[in-house]
Chain A
Amino acid sequence: SQQGEEDPQALSIQEGENATMNCSYKTSINNLQWYRQNSGRGLVHLILIRSNEREKHSGRLRVTLDTSKKSSSLLITASRAADTASYFCATVLGTGGFKTIFGAGTRLFVKA
């Protein structure tokens, strides 16, 4: 099974609403990252949160990390149709950070 698992698998909201996606993982991590993928394209890095951090912001993005629960959430505020994409959490394992394990993703659809 995947190290990182996103929830929900799919999410449909209206433009202007907030979108929340969750990620759970199984083993200790060095850091956790969120990526976005538009259809047919490569993944694009959104934000990184380290294991000793609890919350980070970047523009309309807010990421939280709870290492005791081995979970993270990504909040997109005031969503736009252009936010329609798949979102993946990625866990970087161990102190070396060599391996990054991606979850299966959440498909977000923002209706205009």
Chain B
Amino acid sequence: DAGITQSPRHKVTETGTPVTLRCHQTENHRYMYWYRQDPGHGLRLIHYSYGVKDTDKGEVSDGYSVSRSKTEDFLLTLESATSSQTSVYFCAIKDNQETQYFGPGTRLLVL
């Protein structure tokens, strides 16, 4: 696997609480992505980053924010978790050949 990790791997939280997911890479790639995966929808892009402090929205960004203060870390924050944000979250990095490498995923359950 490419040098990409996610933490935590599993999380159970309650509606209304803040949640932060972390993606860490050791590959020094410029582009990083956060996706969510839900049955019947495949992967949907939440936010992406094209450099330190450079981020942009994806197709399902409402309710999520991101930060990238270092090349290796890309954080996804749910400011006030809702049940609709129960999902599996994947982080990915993109190399210079356009290939994306995915982390192992974080399973989030919002009760």
Contact = CB atoms under 8 A, between A and B. Distances in A.
Interface of A: 2, 30-31, 33, 35, 40-45, 48, 88, 90, 92, 97-105
A101 B35 CA distance: 10
B56 A98 contact: yes
What does DSSP make chain B's interface, helix, strand, loop or mixed? strand
A98 B48 contact: yes
Interface string B81-111: 0000000001010100111111111000000
A100 B42 contact: no
Interface of B: 1, 31, 33, 35, 40-45, 48, 50, 56, 58-59, 90, 92, 94, 97-105
Contacts of A99: 45, 48, 58
Given A42-B103, A101-B45, A102-B44, A31 B35 contact: no
A42 B90 contact: yes
Nearest to A9: B40
A31 B59 CA distance: 19
Contact of B42 (A2, A40, A98): A2
10 contacts: A41-B104, A42-B102, A42-B105, A48-B98, A88-B43, A98-B56, A100-B45, A101-B59, A102-B35, A103-B42
A34 to B, nearest CB: 11
Given A33-B100, A40-B105, A98-B50, 4 more contacts: A41-B105, A98-B48, A100-B100, A102-B43
Contacts of B104: 41-42
